Amino acid sequence: MFELLFKSITDKIEISLIELDSVQSFFTTKKLRRKQYLLQEGDVCKYIAFVTKGVLKSYTIDEKGAEHIIQFATEGWWVSDNYSFLTGLAASYTIDAMEDSELLLITHAAMEEMLFAIPKMEKYFRILFQNNIIAIQNRLVCSLTQTAEEKYKKMNDDYPNIIQRVPQHTIASFLGITPETLSRIRKQRAGKD
Amino acid sequence: MFELLFKSITDKIEISLIELDSVQSFFTTKKLRRKQYLLQEGDVCKYIAFVTKGVLKSYTIDEKGAEHIIQFATEGWWVSDNYSFLTGLAASYTIDAMEDSELLLITHAAMEEMLFAIPKMEKYFRILFQNNIIAIQNRLVCSLTQTAEEKYKKMNDDYPNIIQRVPQHTIASFLGITPETLSRIRKQRAGKD
DNA sequence: CGCCGAGTTGAACTGAATCAAGAAACGTGG
DNA sequence: CCACGTTTCTTGATTCAGTTCAACTCGGCG
């Protein structure tokens, strides 16, 4: 259950087993069926979630009803609406499970307590967020500079496992292109690489 | 000189004057003339910089020679190539000054020492990065969902001071549109609001 | 068996890019 | 302080990548 989280932590910081045990005590576990919500737009995001099994997606819905994927989260990834979690204001993102999933949850209060009790964890999250910034910035640059085909190719290179696990129209939404365009690109690319 | 940095810190965490004084000791100052580089693509990003005066931009140049702005940084903002700074590998971004500027610099080694000496600063950076993630994610969503005009309007709302300080073609590049398109949008919008 | 969501394909359309040319603003050195 | 080159901005004409709309196919599931 907690092995993945421990691995994520020990990859980034030095920490004792006793402390890890203490970390564990701040989390609760949750199972989510496919299509179940972890968070709905407009609610307050009470938890940051660490995925131990399954795939979730976080997304916003625009005025026209179209989904725009912010992030996929599989095993070993964190997911939440950071803004809502931090401020306690209504979430602008929705998060749901694309497969039956298992999560470790921590509330804002538990997070504060944990960071107070185990200050090392500040460093863990600092590094985690720093890496996250690098990844999102990179995605932003790609979205500004690349063509639809280049985006899809990069997605294939960077997250081959996600491509295999989630429906194609969801990938399209993540890349910011229409399902039709993605379908055409795939047809065109068939055989390449 | 350091007031802005201290403000940025005390806005986020509880910290004593003595500790702030210690923080200060890990930084060096640097002045940059307009058009001077802080970092060139291919070099290693040795510093994270805190801007106390002026405006900088970080950007990549694509195969066609076009600039793509990653970030503007004015007074009170941090700027660096996080990836290069963290890994010590070649930077993929360039950073330069758009006005004569003044910076506080901290090296990777000094950063490590500082975080070791004043663990509270982990929390500062954790919060800083967390806010940063929120902002970049927000920008990403906008770049995926909004039209050129909507993007420009949002830019006006969010960063009116930057719009006034940097050339228009740089704004265009930040928004991921061409200077021509931005010029037309501005013409069309003249008088609106 | 029939329905429904997911994916494919085609044709028409469009927002923004590209290409090209001029006008204005800027700053640098004489 | 003016002249000249450079950079920035504007405007028009054309093109194109990707969207939109609509019809059709396929596979799974009640």
C-alpha distance from residue A75 to each of A4, A56, B43, B173 (Å): 8, 9, 35, 36
- Residue A70 touches partner B, C-beta closer than 8 Å: yes
Q: Decide if B143 and A139 are in contact by the 8 Å CB cutoff.
A: no
In 3D, which of A31, A112, A82, A138 has the Cα closest to residue B84?
Answer: A138
Which class is domain A3-120?
mainly beta
pLDDT at B126: 97
Region A87-91: mean pLDDT is 97
pLDDT band at A160 (very low <50, low <70, confident <90, very high): very high
Those residues whose C-beta lies under 8 Å from the C-beta of residue B193, and which sit 6 or more positions away, are none
Question: Do residues B66 and B173 touch, judged by C-beta distance below 8 A?
Answer: yes
pLDDT digits (tens, 9 = 90+) for B96-154: 999 999 999 999 999 999 999 999 999 999 999 999 999 999 999 999 999 999 999 99
Within 6-65 of A, beta carbons closer than 8 Å to B belong to 60, 62
User: Is pLDDT at B193 greater than 70 in this prediction?
Assistant: no
pLDDT at A192: 58
Residue of B79, B126, B154 for testing the chain A interface, max A β-carbons within 10 Å: B126
3-state secondary structure of B166: coil
pLDDT at A193: 55
A150: nt with nearest C1' to CA:
D17
pLDDT at A174: 96
pLDDT digits (tens, 9 = 90+) for A136-152: 999 999 999 999 999 99
Residue of A113, A137, A154 for testing the chain B interface, max B β-carbons within 10 Å: A137
Question: Do residues B142 and B177 touch, judged by C-beta distance below 8 A?
Answer: no
Which residues of chain A between 147 and 176 are close to nucleic strand C, CB under 7 A? Answer: 167-169
pLDDT band at B65 (very low <50, low <70, confident <90, very high): confident
Q: Quote the longest CA-to-CA distance of chain B.
A: 55
pTM of the predicted model over 0.75: yes
Distance of alpha carbon A161 from the chain centroid? 14
Supply the DSSP symbol for A191: T
In angstroms, rounded to a whole number, what is the distance separating the alpha carbons of residues A180 and B65? 31
Region A64-93: mean pLDDT is 95
Residues whose CB falls within 7 A of nucleic chain D?
A: A 147-149, 176-178, 180-181, 184; B 167-170, 179-180, 182-184, 186-187
In chain B, what are the domain boundaries?
3-120
pLDDT band at B42 (very low <50, low <70, confident <90, very high): very high
